[in-house]
Structure 1
């Protein structure tokens, strides 16, 4: 039966719309008013949730994991251990939850444990760096005894990295081409060749991983953390996340707020910028860190002479056309830049980086090849770092940059950031042919979480300090700490920061907002 319209209702509709529009023209600053016994009463406006208190440390949980001693393997991996320090390893079985098979499948997550306190403290590293178990083991050797005696330090390899169902799928030729690509290429034809290598890599990974490919992301890794909490038998998870892993912890906090314990973010990506903005800020931060490295090198009688930036810039230009010889490989301009980026991450390795650059300037690429080798070659039981970095970073962002735009960005950034701008722009090419994820990662905006210290490092080659500041500002419960030093991550490197973090994790003492520690 066809619908009929009442003429009176039709005539009143425009008037009603006008009334509704007038009543909803904008927010009112006046307090709400109620009437009781004929008298007006002001109704207080609802207050936003207050931050939760610092969660209790808790007692050791009923750990359901089976741990086996792996001290010897860890000693080999780290090149030595402090006397008496032992490690054990285990494997967490989590749900894969691929887009094509929600809440199904299995993900095997590799874990390591050190310490004698029995209260779990999970340590997470960047997906594009050394495996999380290696990073956690290394950090455990640098942490104060108070932390090791209070906690079990537990490291976790992120999905597709280390021994967690490793994504060892990029063919060696494509891996070498991507890592070694000319960092000063700006024309469309050259960048198209990079796109061809990335496309071949992504196709091979799709064939190798199938439905698992899109399950290697930060959203699902947050579920691994919740599964780990349940297996450890604790009501809340205490954790440290360095660099890009901060985004994993904020995602975990947004998804599982009731499971949040004492969290610390040691550096963080800028949540106010998209993938393009983050790549640009990474180039800026790397240039800034290199200038600090160069000044430090000169102050020590640098093997690169009085002008390290000029020497290194000339080296990059020469190796664009003539790669350096190295045992079993060669080192072109791309690997020179990638080796510098890796070497800048730890100030303790700066002298070795300077020596490797000086040797390269004399025609010997062995040192730089060794520094950059983890990106392209197996390191013991661990696969190359590139594969997991490429897959997770592309699964985490919805931004896809057209080739023409990438060329424009490369031209601009190579001019403004001569050492690292091109490499930063090329990361945007990586995801050009990648499937777009179904949803973006959530913004860190929950106001009902406990205080979360956020540490900003002044000269971090991977994260601009201002971007970490933005993370602390955007998080309603973020507490900003600043380290005026250099390198990637401050915990274990800055005694001042490490002490403040230790007091927070062990005693629940929240650091003073805006506290600054010298470099």
Structure 2
């Protein structure tokens, strides 16, 4: 039987999640509050909560390309949702400051103040993520703010990237990450890069975080806002940190939920992801045992059995990516345990559903793999030799036996690509107003250690750490949500170093 091939959106990054805390709000404050005052050379004060003036946006009912996807999220009928478009500048290195980039935006809620939402490049499109986030927030919040989700360039309905041939995509995600043999992966990545170059031409190097930050500025202008109020989720937080570096005088109230490790050495940055991914599966296994799930007391053994099944229709790389995708959302854990149990009996539908979005493209939506590949490789400065990649894969497979090899594959995917014109910088945003950074203790996409380093690098960052498991704390942890809501609605900064209970 031909192996089916899908890859999860988070595979090039990785993740996990947990539910809201019923315990008291903020329980530990072991840092000093960032003062709102400023000096001529230091951070600006937090600006007032202004409303739009001279907005250029035209909000209309969403078309079927959006409503069909919204139906799967099942938002309540009372939640007001509209759609619109924002025009940005492509700004390719081959034509600086020229070209057009049309971006899809979606507004949810009735609040007069727009709050822009930016998601991971390999997660849900920002439009859908904004709706899902709104469904977890208090109604009072959406009376003051309306969430404006943006499909960032190259994703969703924002001039999506479609450039990797289907058969190449399939082979890339089929490769067994446990083998440690990176040469076939590098060869396929080279083919993918060549095809993307031919398909996208001058557009190729313009799909990156640096220019996405400029798209955020275009969105601010279109909304008619003097300052940008925004929340970034996971890697979307990096876009906002670059925005704060480039446009510090336009920063309003900004929350970075799971800011990635800023280290420019990809091995240093990604080793934490490998460690976090394995920790996320351990958290899932413990939860599985507590609720007496279909896998019994040893979920790790159950996964190993699935990976060892002869003639299994899903390749090991697909299985691992599917599991990792499901770990992102704590609400998906019961479905994940059932999917693994079903797979042991030969039913692959559950696992395949978690992995489908990566390579299965439709007329409305691209496979997320392509946009992720182009953005990540354009953002990454470091390139490793085949010998270094092989050594790293072997080491991580030993140290992190569930997902180490899978995360190591990310290092290999970009190795044939040239370094782009604007690899991600290490933002300090020295003159931007105070920003709130959220971290999660067990997060395989943006591990706490990396988020902590990123927060320390940002001049005015205030760090709030949630001791739970998941990718993103806002709308999940009651404590973190309370702190963020107070910041957005009242301008109240939490104390730097605040720790929220699990």
TM-score above 0.5: yes
Alignment of 1:156-175 (within 5 A): 156-175=150-169
Alignment of 1:336-351 (within 5 A): 336-351=319-334
Aligned pair 1:245/2:236, yes or no? yes
| Cα distance in 2 for residues equivalent to 1:453 and 1:202 | 37
Report the secondary structure of 2:179's partner residue.
coil
Report the secondary structure of 2:343's partner residue.
helix
Aligned pair 1:487/2:479, yes or no? no
Aligned twin of 2:433: 450
How many equivalent pairs are there? 462
| Cα distance in 2 for residues equivalent to 1:498 and 1:439 | 34
Deviation at 1:323, TM superposition (A): 5.0
Aligned pair 1:224/2:215, yes or no? yes
| Cα distance in 2 for residues equivalent to 1:105 and 1:75 | 29
Report the secondary structure of 2:395's partner residue.
helix
Give a deviation string over 1:459-509, Cα, whole Å, max 9, x none.
112121111111111111110101111111111111221111111011101
* Residues 1:48 and 1:411: Cα distance change in structure 2 (over 3 Å): farther
Deviation at 1:264, TM superposition (A): 0.2
Alignment of 1:87-126 (within 5 A): 87-126=81-120
**Contact 1:179 1:375 survives alignment (8 Å):** no
Aligned twin of 2:57: 65
Report the secondary structure of 1:69's partner residue.
coil
* Residues 1:273 and 1:96: Cα distance change in structure 2 (over 3 Å): closer
**Contact 1:254 1:442 survives alignment (8 Å):** no
| Cα distance in 2 for residues equivalent to 1:92 and 1:50 | 32
Aligned twin of 1:358: 341
RMSD: 1.6
**Contact 2:273 2:407 survives alignment (8 Å):** yes
Report the secondary structure of 1:135's partner residue.
helix
Aligned twin of 1:324: 312
Alignment of 1:372-391 (within 5 A): 372-378=355-361, 381-391=364-374
| Cα distance in 1 for residues equivalent to 2:51 and 2:135 | 23
Aligned twin of 1:3: none
Q: Give the number of the structure with larger relative contact order, counting CA–CA contacts within 8 Å between residues 6 or more apart.
A: 2
Report the secondary structure of 1:231's partner residue.
helix
| Among candidates 35, 41, 46, match of residue 54 of structure 1 | 46
Give a deviation string over 1:20-68, Cα, whole Å, max 9, x none.
xxxxxxxxxxxxxxxxxxxxxxxxxxx8833322111102222112221
Report the secondary structure of 1:113's partner residue.
strand
| Cα distance in 2 for residues equivalent to 1:445 and 1:293 | 35
Per mean C-alpha deviation after superposition, the further-off stretch among 388-397 and 355-364 is 355-364
Per mean C-alpha deviation after superposition, the further-off stretch among 62-71 and 288-297 is 62-71
**Contact 1:64 1:233 survives alignment (8 Å):** yes
Runs of 4+ more than 4 Å apart: 71-75
| Cα distance in 1 for residues equivalent to 2:139 and 2:349 | 38
> Which runs of 5 or more residues in structure 1 are unaligned?
1-46, 326-330
Aligned twin of 2:30: none
Aligned pair 1:309/2:300, yes or no? yes
Give a deviation string over 1:76-134, Cα, whole Å, max 9, x none.
32421113112111111111000111111111111111111121100000001111111
**Contact 2:384 2:411 survives alignment (8 Å):** yes
Higher gyration radius (CA): 1
Per mean C-alpha deviation after superposition, the further-off stretch among 223-232 and 305-314 is 305-314
| Among candidates 403, 408, 418, match of residue 420 of structure 1 | 403
**Contact 1:74 1:137 survives alignment (8 Å):** no
Deviation at 1:75, TM superposition (A): 5.0
Deviation at 1:272, TM superposition (A): 3.3
Deviation at 1:393, TM superposition (A): 0.3
| Cα distance in 2 for residues equivalent to 1:109 and 1:115 | 20
> Which runs of 5 or more residues in structure 2 are unaligned?
1-38
| Cα distance in 2 for residues equivalent to 1:313 and 1:514 | 39
